[in-house]
Chains A and B, each alone.
Chain A
Amino acid sequence: MSARARPPLLDIDKLIDDPDTRILVCCGSGGVGKTTTAAALALRAANRGRRVVVLTIDPARRLAQSLGLSELSNHPRAVDLVADDGGGELHAMMLDMRRTFDDMVLAHAGRQRAQQILSNPFYQTISSSFSGTQEYMAMEKLGQLVHDDQWDLVVVDTPPSRSALDFLDAPQRLSTVLDGKIIRMLSAPARAGGLGLKRLVGAGFGLFTKAVSTIIGGQLLADASAFVQAFDSMFGGFRERARATYELLRSPGTAFLVIAAPEPDALREASYFVDRLSGDEMPLAGLVVNRTHPVLADLPATRALAAAEDLERAGSAPLASAVLRLHADRVAVADREKRMLSRFTRAHPAVALIGVPALPSDVHDLDGLREIGHRLAGE
């Protein structure tokens, strides 16, 4: 076999110590430990003297508790760091998407119009259960945190989407829905707004409208129509903010970390994400591979297994043979992980990478997060 491709090593401390790094976005597929990584990075940066806020999305309960978060809140809270920590500050918050949306409406629409929007049943559906809302609101909150200018560094976790890419696309999808064009055509296809489309698709359009209203019901369509009319005046501002946040993500102060686990699915998602980020000219800092199992003892698996078999045949030293077997298991796991990572590196040779060895048990306190921080930094 030819020499294994060696990726550049991702230097986490250099990244979080750099005063020009203002935003760190942690993205990746579900179940890879994104939220834990975001929290550990934020804690480490704070321990190294920066004023940090971490925006988490839907953290596991015990992880949230370790950060002193017991409920959704729309404002960051200070996390108690023990005295020997290095002079920085850590704040944490859990995104409340409904409140963030409400606040946006209140900020952008006049008082009366805002009430009209907030009480519309269609708004209530879209602000609490549309699949893109969480992503959109995470980006909105990120924009606000950066704008507040109270922190040196904002660390963001991304929502547990169906796919990692959703988080870049969802704001656009929501924009499309909130844009009044289609709904105006649906609710009044004969009027001027609908003419262009009608010419395009001919008589089919009337049928489509009829079909849609049969399916989703006239009342919902009417609510949606009222909502869009009320929303129309603030829509420009809305879209403008989404655009500004998107630009913020492309700015030099932002760094993306793609988080993965040494599993085929997670690495495949990571590959898509790396390609997508480079396609959109988003600044990728590197890949964090959580939960690796490096071999701790330099002993080939074949030798370990042969010796274990000798002992088992002789019926002696059960502890030693168990140790040899579990070592051989570990070598096999480590080899498999290395193979998968080298496949990723062959496809993306320039992407810097750091493996984070698995802790034997789950993280649910600051000590655990600090330990993850050491491992992220390769200590």
Chain B
Amino acid sequence: MTSPDRWTDELSRARLHVVTGKGGTGKTTVAAALALALASGGRRVLLVEVEGRQGIAQVFDTAPLPYSEERIAAAPGGGEVRALAVDAEAALLEYLSMFYNLGFAGRTLRKMGAIEFATTLAPGLRDVLLTGKVKECVRRTDSGGRHVYDAVVLDAPPTGRVVKFLDVTKAMADLAKVGPIRSQSDGVVRLLHSGDTAVHLVTLLEEMPVRETLDAVTELDAADLRPGAVITNRVRPPRLPARSMTAAAGGRVDASRVRTGLAEAGLELDSDILEGLVEETVEHAIRVQAEQRARADLDAVDLPALELPELTDGADTGALYELAELLGEQGVR
């Protein structure tokens, strides 16, 4: 963990932090930890989810979030994290009621599924509504003209879908050329393609997540969206001395040397236990080598790189603070 390229000043200036990653990499946990880290020292951060999974409520172990911005955690040094689960239907209704007085009719239409229908007719509409709401939160100011949130962290769709989700320009090609949604979406496009936005990629040191990460970086570049940091999650320490690694990965572990060493520490073990230890060692070495290859592939993208360790006790709420602290140590602010 001595990479020189950690969190940069440029990333600190971003106001919208989009967090994506392949399914199973822990992107919601990392997004929550990032929100806590950014809120440290008295700032206010909004953590947003858009996929209706209630993942934020689960990592903070609270009741499902309503469609409103609720305080969900205090951050070290007097900051706070609020959370919002954006729902496309609610966003559309909120939207329509700003321009048309729908009131009761809106609720009835919702019950009938007419809104689900409208968002289905134009698949891009759903994403435009969701990103539109996020933009509104990022840009919102109080009566004194100050931003209500110092930063917004978006727990975004997984890497396979994220560029399509963020590429509002393309989505809007389906939709009307004029009207309120069009003018709002122009604002979304400006935000997402500006230095105010960074798209962070969460990965594990495994072949598939790394490949998806690399693909996502290429796609982001092609869509003129800015990749932020690569955050490698659940990193486990290599235990074997480097000189033993290659041999062990090839199945060659000097069992008699292990036995002598164990005896020195007062452990006289049965041969089947010793065999088990050797087998565990071989598996460990194969995995570490695969991780080294994965890390080399990641290094090739030349983005700020952060790492979070595997937490043996799992990611409970207490662990989020631990992860946030580790992000802080790597320069996140």
Interface residues, chain A, with chain B CB atoms under 8 Å away:
29-32, 60, 122, 125-126, 129-131, 160, 162-163, 173, 176-177, 182-183, 185-186, 197, 200-205, 207-208, 210-218, 220-221, 224, 261, 263-266, 268, 295-299, 303, 307-308, 310-311, 314, 316-327, 329-330, 332-333, 336, 340, 360-362
**Complex Cα spacing A29 to B22, Å:** 12
Q: Is the CB of B280 within 8 A of A330?
A: yes
Q: Is the CB of A216 within 8 A of B121?
A: yes
**Complex Cα spacing A215 to B123, Å:** 12
- Of chain A, the residue at the smallest CB distance from B52 is A162
Q: Which of A162, A261, A323, A324 has the most CB of B within 10 A?
A: A323
Q: Is the CB of B276 within 8 A of A208?
A: no
- Of chain A, the residue at the smallest CB distance from B55 is A265
- Of chain A, the residue at the smallest CB distance from B99 is A211
**Complex Cα spacing A311 to B241, Å:** 14
With a cutoff of 8 Å between Cβ atoms, the chain A residues found around residue B108 in the complex are 200-201, 204
Add 7 more A-B contacts to A201-B109, A211-B99, A263-B24 (CB < 8 A): A208-B114, A220-B122, A319-B261, A322-B240, A324-B262, A327-B280, A332-B312
Per-position contact with A for B56-86: 1 when CB-CB < 8 Å, else 0? 0010000000000000000000000000000
Q: Is the CB of B267 within 8 A of A303?
A: yes
- Of chain B, the residue at the smallest CB distance from A200 is B108
With a cutoff of 8 Å between Cβ atoms, the chain A residues found around residue B239 in the complex are 322-323, 325-326, 329
Given contacts A216-B118, A216-B176, A217-B177, whether A208 and B96 have CB atoms under 8 Å apart is: yes
Q: Is the CB of B261 within 8 A of A217?
A: no
- Of chain A, the residue at the smallest CB distance from B313 is A336
Given contacts A130-B120, A215-B118, A361-B286, whether A31 and B240 have CB atoms under 8 Å apart is: no
**Complex Cα spacing A323 to B176, Å:** 64
With a cutoff of 8 Å between Cβ atoms, the chain A residues found around residue B207 in the complex are 362
Q: Which of B243-271 contact A (CB under 8 A)?
A: 244, 253-254, 257-258, 260-262, 264-267, 269
Q: Which of B113-127 contact A (CB under 8 A)?
A: 113-114, 116-118, 120-123, 125
With a cutoff of 8 Å between Cβ atoms, the chain B residues found around residue A204 in the complex are 102-106, 108-109
Question: Within 8 Å of chain A (Cβ to Cβ): is B175?
Answer: yes
Measured CB to CB, the closest approach of chain B to A333, in angstroms, equals: 7
With a cutoff of 8 Å between Cβ atoms, the chain A residues found around residue B102 in the complex are 204, 207-208, 211
Q: Is the CB of B283 within 8 A of A360?
A: yes
With a cutoff of 8 Å between Cβ atoms, the chain A residues found around residue B300 in the complex are none
- Of chain B, the residue at the smallest CB distance from A206 is B105
With a cutoff of 8 Å between Cβ atoms, the chain B residues found around residue A265 in the complex are 24, 28, 55, 58
With a cutoff of 8 Å between Cβ atoms, the chain B residues found around residue A340 in the complex are 314
Question: Within 8 Å of chain A (Cβ to Cβ): is B273?
Answer: yes
With a cutoff of 8 Å between Cβ atoms, the chain B residues found around residue A131 in the complex are 123
Q: Is the CB of B25 within 8 A of A215?
A: no
Measured CB to CB, the closest approach of chain B to A367, in angstroms, equals: 15
Interface residues, chain B, with chain A CB atoms under 8 Å away:
22-25, 28, 51-53, 55, 58, 96, 99-106, 108-109, 112-114, 116-118, 120-123, 125, 157-158, 160, 174-177, 179-181, 206-208, 236-237, 239-241, 244, 253-254, 257-258, 260-262, 264-267, 269, 272-284, 286-287, 290, 310, 312-315
Q: Is the CB of A173 within 8 A of B120?
A: yes
**Complex Cα spacing A223 to B276, Å:** 66
**Complex Cα spacing A333 to B279, Å:** 16
**Complex Cα spacing A40 to B104, Å:** 53
Q: Is the CB of B290 within 8 A of A311?
A: no
Measured CB to CB, the closest approach of chain B to A319, in angstroms, equals: 6
Q: Is the CB of A297 within 8 A of B206?
A: no
| Selected contact of B262 from candidates A185, A208, A307, CB within 8 Å | A307
Q: How many A-B residue pairs have CB under 8 A?
A: 233
Measured CB to CB, the closest approach of chain B to A152, in angstroms, equals: 32
Q: Is the CB of B117 within 8 A of A30?
A: no
Q: Which of A204, A295, A324 has the most CB of B within 10 A?
A: A204
Q: Is the CB of B23 within 8 A of A160?
A: yes
**Complex Cα spacing A223 to B101, Å:** 28
With a cutoff of 8 Å between Cβ atoms, the chain A residues found around residue B125 in the complex are 215-216
| Selected contact of B100 from candidates A210, A264, A316, CB within 8 Å | A210
With a cutoff of 8 Å between Cβ atoms, the chain B residues found around residue A336 in the complex are 312-314
- Of chain B, the residue at the smallest CB distance from A29 is B23
Measured CB to CB, the closest approach of chain B to A188, in angstroms, equals: 15
**Complex Cα spacing A268 to B123, Å:** 28
Q: Which of B106, B157, B282 has the most CB of A within 10 A?
A: B106
Q: Is the CB of A326 within 8 A of B280?
A: yes
With a cutoff of 8 Å between Cβ atoms, the chain A residues found around residue B284 in the complex are 326, 330
**Complex Cα spacing A108 to B257, Å:** 72
With a cutoff of 8 Å between Cβ atoms, the chain A residues found around residue B240 in the complex are 319, 322, 326
Q: Is the CB of A217 within 8 A of B175?
A: yes
Q: Is the CB of B264 within 8 A of A319?
A: no
**Complex Cα spacing A320 to B278, Å:** 10
- Of chain B, the residue at the smallest CB distance from A30 is B23
**Complex Cα spacing A57 to B262, Å:** 49
With a cutoff of 8 Å between Cβ atoms, the chain B residues found around residue A261 in the complex are 24
**Complex Cα spacing A297 to B22, Å:** 33
- Of chain A, the residue at the smallest CB distance from B24 is A31
Q: Is the CB of A360 within 8 A of B273?
A: no
With a cutoff of 8 Å between Cβ atoms, the chain B residues found around residue A202 in the complex are 105
A selection of 7 A-B contacts at a CB cut-off of 8 Å is: A160-B23, A265-B58, A268-B58, A298-B272, A317-B262, A326-B281, A362-B206
Given contacts A131-B123, A311-B261, A340-B314, whether A220 and B179 have CB atoms under 8 Å apart is: no
| Selected contact of A207 from candidates B101, B157, B254, B262, CB within 8 Å | B101
Measured CB to CB, the closest approach of chain B to A138, in angstroms, equals: 17
| Selected contact of B266 from candidates A162, A307, A322, CB within 8 Å | A307
| Selected contact of A360 from candidates B24, B55, B236, B286, CB within 8 Å | B286
With a cutoff of 8 Å between Cβ atoms, the chain B residues found around residue A186 in the complex are 114, 117
With a cutoff of 8 Å between Cβ atoms, the chain B residues found around residue A308 in the complex are 265
Q: Is the CB of A208 within 8 A of B236?
A: no
Measured CB to CB, the closest approach of chain B to A320, in angstroms, equals: 2
With a cutoff of 8 Å between Cβ atoms, the chain B residues found around residue A173 in the complex are 116, 120
Measured CB to CB, the closest approach of chain B to A189, in angstroms, equals: 11
Q: Is the CB of A176 within 8 A of B244?
A: no
Q: Is the CB of B105 within 8 A of A307?
A: no
* CB-based closest 4 A-B pairs: A204-B105, A320-B261, A31-B24, A297-B276
Measured CB to CB, the closest approach of chain A to B31, in angstroms, equals: 13
